[in-house]
Amino acid sequence: MKNSSLFVGAMSGTSLDGVDAVLVRLPGRPDNGPPQLLQAHHLPYSEALRQRVLGMCQGQAVTLAQVGALDVALAQVYAQTVITLLRQAGVPPQQVAALGAHGQTVHHQPVAPTADGARFSMQLLDPNTLAVATGITVVADFRRRDMALGGQGAPLAPGFHDHVLRHPQHTRVVLNAGGIANISVLVPGQPCLGYDTGPANMLLDAWAQQHLGQPFDADGQWAASGQVHANLLQVLLADPYFAAPPPKSTGRELFGLAWLQRALDRLAPTQAIPAADVQRTLLELSAASVAHAVSQHAARGELLVCGGGARNRLFMQRLARLHPGWAVSTTDDRGVPAQWMEAIAFAWFAQRTLRGLPGSVPTVTGASRACVLGGVYLP
């Protein structure tokens, strides 16, 4: 391992908006303090690449050649993001100890659909291409060792949330509101708990794209123009996932537009729902499913939000209203940039992997034991 405190983390999530990359300085021992963010950069996916990823995520028939080509293409986009990041920071690749790269999830199946089915999670990103293109040692493939030990392989972020945001006296719940929402429950004297609560931005973004031709609903303005449709919300919340006990994780495989359309079809033709009302109802679904999950663990504390949802004003307002007795704010208020939380986490995971330290949290994923995450790929 290079004698360097500089690490890069790179992440692309279920929102499919692009790659986030950060340069951070980590203390010499992974447990001696929080990361220091030095530089951050976001590179949006081209629309052509986004459609290739989306098609694969939605189960379109693909060839092995197409899978392999997308694997390399994503590595090249990650490399471009990291190279630009380091150029902006004025830091040569030789000074970076490692790059933690999550890759793009195209299928997450933590529970076998049949008795003889497979449990797996697939992230596309050729780490060899990424390591050679950047000149940096890459740590990648973070989920599958946990799954081999019986875990869900997700969410992984709670381990990092526990490290940087646990308070010795006060309960904190960290909500990562990305494409999918997940919570990390940090109660003093108790082990970290966490799981995916359901959709956050993914359905909101998809509905906005379909009806407005826009990638997202800025500040929830379109949703604010609509009304919550009580019957639709009831149908959506009746999905068994919301009542299932943890450990649990999910993704676009369940909560995609097809899932929403089935709910709309159940209500049609007797109830034609305006598109803005659907958007408002989807936002309420996200907030209400989070509130239901949080209420299972504590009556009051701090709810700290990160991810894209932290920038949605209406979503934040609804969280505050649905969590009486809680102080609701973003992780920015506690020293960790909400926009870059996950990318910073994967820099931290990379350091732990190189040190031979576990990164998984069995109380979150359900694995039989904690383990070192990922594989190491040299340039």
Query: Is residue 1 in some structural domain?
Result: no
pTM value?
0.95
For residues 321 and 349, membership in a common domain is answered with no
Query: Is residue 312 in some structural domain?
Result: yes
pLDDT at 309: 96
For residues 241 and 352, membership in a common domain is answered with no
Structural domain span for residue 109? 6-153+340-377
Residue 110 pLDDT more than 80? yes
In angstroms, rounded to a whole number, what is the distance separating the alpha carbons of residues 328 and 227? 23
Residue 311 pLDDT more than 70? yes
For residues 299 and 329, membership in a common domain is answered with yes
Query: Is residue 11 in some structural domain?
Result: yes
The residue count for the chain:
379
What's the token pair of residue 188? Answer: 């003093």
pLDDT at 31: 63
Residue 34 confidence class, pLDDT cut points 50, 70, 90: confident
Mean pLDDT value across the chain: 95
Residue 57 confidence class, pLDDT cut points 50, 70, 90: very high
pLDDT at 116: 85
The angle that helices 313-322 and 275-295 make with each other, rounded to 10 degrees, is 40
Q: If you average pLDDT over residues 126-142, what whole number do you get?
A: 98
Q: In the chain, what percentage of residues exceed pLDDT 70? A: 98
Q: If you average pLDDT over residues 41-66, what whole number do you get?
A: 95
pLDDT at 1: 57
Residue 205 confidence class, pLDDT cut points 50, 70, 90: very high
Number of domains within the chain = 2
Q: If you average pLDDT over residues 37-52, what whole number do you get?
A: 97
Domain edge (last residue) among 322, 338, 354: 338
Q: If you average pLDDT over residues 317-323, what whole number do you get?
A: 98
Q: What are phi and psi of 101, to 5 degrees?
A: -125, 120
Query: Is residue 304 in some structural domain?
Result: yes
Q: What is the DSSP letter of 111?
A: S
For residues 83 and 135, membership in a common domain is answered with yes
pLDDT at 28: 78
Q: If you average pLDDT over residues 46-59, what whole number do you get?
A: 94
Q: Is 130:120 a contact under the CB 8 Å cutoff?
A: no
Residue 97 pLDDT more than 60? yes
Residue 257 pLDDT more than 80? yes
For residues 147 and 12, membership in a common domain is answered with yes
- Cβ burial 115-127 (10 Å sphere, 16+ → b, else e): eeeebebbbbbbb
DSSP states along 15-57? T-SEEEEEEEE--SSTTSS--EEEEEEEEEPPHHHHHHHHHHH
Q: How far is CA 119 from the centre of its chain?
A: 19
Residue 157 confidence class, pLDDT cut points 50, 70, 90: very high
For residues 132 and 225, membership in a common domain is answered with no
Query: Is residue 322 in some structural domain?
Result: yes
CA atoms within 13 A on the CB side of 54: 18
Contacts of 181 (CB under 8 A, 6+ apart): 175, 196, 197, 198, 199, 200, 286, 289, 290, 309
Query: Is residue 114 in some structural domain?
Result: yes
For residues 163 and 284, membership in a common domain is answered with yes
Q: What are phi and psi of 188, to 5 degrees?
A: -55, 135
Letter for the amino acid at 186?
A: L
For residues 344 and 334, membership in a common domain is answered with no
Residue 269 pLDDT more than 80? no
Q: If you average pLDDT over residues 147-162, what whole number do you get?
A: 97
pLDDT at 30: 59
Q: If you average pLDDT over residues 337-362, what whole number do you get?
A: 97
Q: Three-state SS across 135-185?
A: CCCEEECCCHHHHHCCCCCCCCHHHHHHHHHCCCCCCEEEEEECCEEEEEE
For residues 182 and 327, membership in a common domain is answered with yes
Q: Is 353:363 a contact under the CB 8 Å cutoff?
A: no
For residues 289 and 250, membership in a common domain is answered with yes
In angstroms, rounded to a whole number, what is the distance separating the alpha carbons of residues 291 and 308? 18
Say whether 323 sits in a helix, a strand or coil: coil
Q: 365 vs 14, which has greater pLDDT?
A: 365
Query: Is residue 308 in some structural domain?
Result: yes
Domain CATH code at residue 273:
3.30.420.40
Question: Which residues lie across from 21 on neighbouring strands?
Answer: 10, 41
Residue 210 pLDDT more than 70? yes
E strand or H helix that includes residue 188: none
For residues 279 and 177, membership in a common domain is answered with yes
Q: How far is CA 263 from CA 180, 201, 217, 252, 257, in A?
A: 19, 18, 21, 16, 10
pLDDT at 114: 86
Q: If you average pLDDT over residues 312-338, what whole number do you get?
A: 97
Q: Is 208:314 a contact under the CB 8 Å cutoff?
A: no
Residue 4 pLDDT more than 90? no
pLDDT at 216: 92
pLDDT digits (tens, 9 = 90+) for 160-200: 999 999 999 999 999 999 999 999 999 999 999 999 999 99
pLDDT at 169: 97
For residues 215 and 187, membership in a common domain is answered with yes
Residue 294 confidence class, pLDDT cut points 50, 70, 90: very high
Query: Is residue 131 in some structural domain?
Result: yes
Q: If you average pLDDT over residues 114-129, what whole number do you get?
A: 94
Residue 44 pLDDT more than 80? yes
